Amino acid sequence: MSRRSTPKDKNVAALLALTLGWAGVHRFYLGQIGLGILYVFLMGSGLTTVLGFIDALAIFFMDQEKFDRKFNRERARSYYRPRSSRNRYPHRRRLTAEEEAEARRIAERVRNKKAHDARLRQLIKSGKEAFKNFDYDKALENFSEALKLDPRNPAILFNMACLYSLEEKGKEALEALDKAVQYGFDDFSRIETHEALAWLRTQADFKTFRESNYRLKRERTKKKIEVKEEQQEPDLLEQLNRLKQLRERGMLTEMEYRRELEKLKR
């Protein structure tokens, strides 16, 4: 078993350097045996007296932590001892069950978002590769799947319009272009110059599409206005009978009865 050395006292070392520094006693006290022996050999020169005084000042003004790091290694280790997580973060509290559940939900959403984006990138990449290899069916399949993941992606819609044009499907191509423009596609020069849209540009519907600022014209559907059925006036005979009943019950005077009767005759 290794014996633990006795900690050195900074003030004692400074005092020894001041009083007996000419003999190197403070160096022996601090465990610097080699330097202590050197001081002994130089005692007669008077140099050690000056060195001892300088050492006394240096030790006296030295920071305690620095002194321990240099001369008390056992004690110095305590300065760097890792603290427990509870002591390191005293302000942290334990999460409640609801907070832990919410944290798990957030982490799950982040994972799902990463998986969604990775899948979307893969489908777009596969669609472009199939497009370059003239496998239009495969490209359209990939872009269609990608569109399900990101229905408002103008780049996907533009690529699908190109594919529909190559397959001479004018209606589908124009609808895809219309949605692409709706969701932010504004490179109209590309619509006019892209080779895949050459067939579409020859169609009569494309001229109307161009004149409408690259949007489809849609007929405005008139909203059906519910017309309330007008209340039909009761039959004249029915009204006369009602007036008679009111007069007989005394709810109408003779004068009021005649006045209402005149109104019905008009």
pLDDT in the model for residue 183: 94
Three-state SS across 95-126?
CCHHHHHHHHHHHHHHHHHHHHHHHHHHHHHH
Position 83 confidence tier, pLDDT thresholds 50, 70, 90: low
Give residue-wise pLDDT tens across range 1-40. 445 668 889 888 889 888 988 888 988 998 888 888 888 8
Q: Please tell me the predicted confidence (pLDDT) of residue 145.
A: 95
Question: If residue 155 lies in a helix (H) or strand (E), which one and from where to where?
Answer: helix 154-166
Residues 96-146: pLDDT tens digits?
Answer: 888 888 888 888 988 999 999 999 999 999 999 999 999 999 999 999 999
Q: Tell me, what's the pLDDT at 88?
A: 55
What token pair was written down for 169?
């499907």
Cα 249 versus chain centre, distance: 79
Q: 60 or 231: whose pLDDT is higher? A: 60
Instruction: Report the distance separating Cα 60 and Cα 57, nearest Å.
Output: 5
- Give the pLDDT score at 218: 72
Residue entry with tokens 């001369």:
71
The number of beta carbons lying within 10 Å of the beta carbon of residue 1 is 3
The lowest-confidence range among 75-79, 106-110, 116-120, 151-155 is 75-79
Nearest CA among 127, 30, 23 for reference residue 73:
30
Q: Compute how many other C-beta atoms are within 10 angstroms of the C-beta atom of residue 191.
A: 22
CA torsion angle for 211, 216, 217, 220 (degrees, to 10)? -160
State residue 128's pLDDT score: 93
Q: Dihedrals φ, ψ of 125, to 5°?
A: -60, -45
Does residue 53 have a pLDDT over 60? yes
Q: Which amino acid is at 227?
A: V
* Cα separation of the two ends of the chain: 130
pLDDT tens for 196-249 read 999 999 999 999 999 999 999 875 544 443 434 444 445 677 777 777 777 777
The model's pTM is 0.49
pLDDT of amino acid 228: 42
What is the model's pLDDT at position 236? 72
What pLDDT does residue 157 have? Answer: 95
Task: Say whether pLDDT at 47 is over 50.
Answer: yes
Q: Is 64 helix (H, G, I), strand (E, B) or coil?
A: helix
Specify whether the CB–CB gap between 29 and 16 falls below 8 A: yes
> From CA 243, how far away is CA 254, in angstroms rounded?
11
What is the model's pLDDT at position 226? Answer: 44
pLDDT of residue 175 exceeding 70, the answer is yes
Q: What is the pLDDT of residue 232?
A: 44
Instruction: Identify the pLDDT of residue 92.
Output: 64
Residues of the chain with CATH 1.25.40.10: 110-211
Q: What is the Cα–Cα distance from 73 to 68, expressed in whole angstroms?
A: 6
pLDDT (0 to 100) of residue 163? 93
Class of CATH domain 110-211 = mainly alpha
Amino acid at 90: P
